[in-house]
Amino acid sequence: METSASLIASSALRRHAILCVLGASACYSITGALVKAVSAEFPTAEIVLFRSGVAVLVTLPLLWRHGGLAALRTHRPWGHLARTVTGFAGMLTSYYGYATLPLAINTALGFAMPLILTALSVPLLGERVGWRRASAVLVGLAGVLVVVRPWRHAADSLPLFPVAVVLLGVVAWALSMISIRRMGEVGESNVAIVLWFSFGATAMGAAMTVPVWQTPDALQLGALTAVGVITGLAQLLMTEGYRSGEPSLVAPFEYGAILYTTVLGMAIWSEIPDLWNIVGIAIIIGSGLYIWQYEAGPGRRGAPRGE
């Protein structure tokens, strides 16, 4: 009887974790659609400013609960600077991608981040990558090429400049994750990492927005604010999902974002992926899942996406 109750509780917790990650992926997808919708009227920097500014408001209670300004004390200022610059670059380029590329394609390119992170972990973290993981990285990068297919006729191909910008942003995200890992290894608190990034990204967004500011009307202001609010909800759901379920269980459900953005892109902007797009996306997902499984193996830990 006791064993049966334990199994039921465990099953309920696993369902809860999966639903949280699916919900987070849906929220990220809705955010991408909102960013794409307002990008025709507002510069990317201003959208990022609203997203970061709302995040600051959301994190202020976190600051209060952890001792006020004392929570910002750090012995790794350069680590926070590196994390903020690279994380901001990753967010800026991702939002630019939503404005210039099909939703599903931009989302799929973003999921190349674990592949880049694995490759960079060798020179920057001194990790050893065996032939299986190295092969997964190469196969995943081949999947990126299948999605982009730069050899196609110009009229049928994706615009290469936005693709290059987004992929550079994926590298920036990977560098940001490496900065977080390094600070975590030396005992820097999660609270300090989150707060310094929120404040830093807001300051950088404000500096970039000043010369290009566009004053929103009430409806536009609601949409810009919603980008920050829904992203904050996504982060809470993703954190709860990884807190209550094993990474190897919940990580695959992050890829629900591909399905969500495909549906949104088709329904709103008539963005229909072709067969090769689907094949390339499947290759990226398969390679990413293989690396997720490795990271979640004995003695290792997975980490959810950040921003």
Structure tokens at 5: 């109750």
Q: How confident is the model at residue 301 (pLDDT cuts 50, 70, 90)?
A: very low
Distance in angstroms (rounded) separating the CA atoms of residues 189 and 73 = 10
Please indicate, yes or no, if residue 303 is contained in any of the structural domains: no
Distance in angstroms (rounded) separating the CA atoms of residues 241 and 231 = 15
- Nearest Cα neighbor of 94 from 178, 148, 162 is 162
Structure tokens at 245: 């379920």
Residue 302 has pLDDT above 50, yes or no: no
- pLDDT of the residue at 297: 58
- Nearest Cα neighbor of 27 from 232, 225, 286, 221 is 232
Please indicate, yes or no, if residue 230 is contained in any of the structural domains: yes
Q: What is the mean pLDDT of residues 29-41?
A: 96
pTM: 0.87
Please indicate, yes or no, if residue 305 is contained in any of the structural domains: no
Question: Given the structure tokens 């963005």, which residue do they identify?
Answer: 271
Give the tens place of pLDDT for each residue, 175-221. 998 998 888 888 888 778 888 988 999 999 999 999 999 999 999 99
- Nearest Cα neighbor of 166 from 140, 146, 142, 148 is 148
Counted domains in the chain: 1
Give the tens place of pLDDT for each residue, 258-277. 999 999 999 999 999 999 99
> Cβ distance 162 to 100 under 8 Å?
yes
- The pair phi, psi for residue 189, each rounded to 5°, is -75, 150
Please indicate, yes or no, if residue 101 is contained in any of the structural domains: yes
Give the tens place of pLDDT for each residue, 51-103. 999 988 877 887 788 777 777 888 888 999 999 999 999 999 999 999 999 99
Please indicate, yes or no, if residue 248 is contained in any of the structural domains: yes
Domain of 133?
Answer: 2-295
Handedness of CA 181, 183, 184, 185 (dihedral sign): positive
Portion of the chain with pLDDT greater than 90, in percent = 54
Please indicate, yes or no, if residue 304 is contained in any of the structural domains: no
How confident is the prediction for the chain on average, in pLDDT?
A: 87
Please indicate, yes or no, if residue 8 is contained in any of the structural domains: yes
Task: Indicate the SS3 state at residue 240.
Answer: helix
Please indicate, yes or no, if residue 302 is contained in any of the structural domains: no
